[in-house]
Amino acid sequence: MNSSPSLLLNFAPDVWGPALREAAPGMDIRTYPDIGNPLDIDCLVTHTLPQGLVQSLPNLKLLYAVGAGVDYLLAEALKRPDIRVARIADEAVSGDVASLAVAATLSWVRQLMPYVEQEKTSTWAPLPHRSSSETTVGILGMGRIGGTTATSLHALGFRVCGWSRTGKNLPGVQAFSGQAGLKAMLPRAQVLICTLPLTDETAGIVSADVLASLPQGAYFVNVGRGAHVDEDALLEALNADRLAGAFLDVFKHEPLPPAHPFWVHPRVRVTPHVASRTPPHRVAPQVIANVLRLRAGEPLMNLVDAAAGY
């Protein structure tokens, strides 16, 4: 084993470097591509993986994702069973994603965009009232983000259903799981919010069939990953007026290409993958604590289950 274990940082070194060094004075922290002796590196903190980097670090033990999603790291990690993957778990991050999903839901339910349009022409024309108490929201994924979204919407008076692998129970939220659970939840979901991680099982989950199972005039919100959605099927459902609209923060191809029909669709709202930003100074201590645990042979926190994919 290496005599002097080192952490390698491969993401935004100008902000993450100072944050990590402040959290770990004296720790050897290197910045890609200045790796030094590759044998020294036991932890890689990153957002993307340069080709071959993982394979070039024989003593790498921990891949640390600087965000909540790890879909881009797992394929490489799975090639090396000796490597574990951890992710940032931060209430402020999941709270921010949840608040965007809640904002998108409220904006549609309370018809804020049509009223913005009316204001431009000084038009006083109340639209049919939609009440939160008469609106059911179905949430795909009931983890940190989905759970926070569910409890927030429940607190605002919505009827909330949540679908997860294990059927997670939260007060006031009806739990569903498995294919049968999904089939049962979808026809109730006047708003469907995707907060899932991207895995082999969830890729393309928002399919033509799923969209067709929603009630007529439902609204779709995606803050998970673009690859959860069959974009052609979504456009078709919108254009056939089966779906009232969609709010999308994430896309199959990012940045969303200028010619993509989502940009100009009158009932699609686009935000440029801005649901959250991981604050380096806030989360650096949890990264360093985990690295110290690794070196002390102690159990690690916030590990990803590589087999499950999240």
By CB under 6 A, is residue 284 in contact with ligand NDP? Answer: no
Nearer to ligand NDP, 21 or 260 (CB): 260
User: What is the spatial distance between Cα 50 and Cα 209, in angstroms, rounded to a whole number?
Assistant: 37
Candidates 6, 46, 105, 199; binder of ligand NDP (CB under 6 A) is: 199
By CB under 6 A, is residue 161 in contact with ligand NDP? Answer: no
Nearer to ligand NDP, 28 or 209 (CB): 209
Candidates 13, 67, 204, 226; binder of ligand NDP (CB under 6 A) is: 67
Candidates 141, 173, 230, 233; binder of ligand NDP (CB under 6 A) is: 141
CB 119 → ligand NDP: shortest distance, Å? 29
- 246-265: contacts with ligand NDP (CB under 6 A): 249-250
By CB under 6 A, is residue 206 in contact with ligand NDP? Answer: no
Nearer to ligand NDP, 4 or 169 (CB): 169
Nearer to ligand NDP, 6 or 199 (CB): 199
Stretch that binds ligand NDP, among 29-37, 65-73, 206-214, 252-260 (CB under 6 A): 65-73
Nearer to ligand NDP, 165 or 242 (CB): 165
Active-site annotation, residues? 225, 273
By CB under 6 A, is residue 97 in contact with ligand NDP? Answer: yes
Q: Which residues bind ligand NDP (CB under 6 A)?
A: 67-69, 94, 97, 141-146, 163-166, 168, 195-199, 201-202, 223-225, 249-250, 273, 275-276, 310
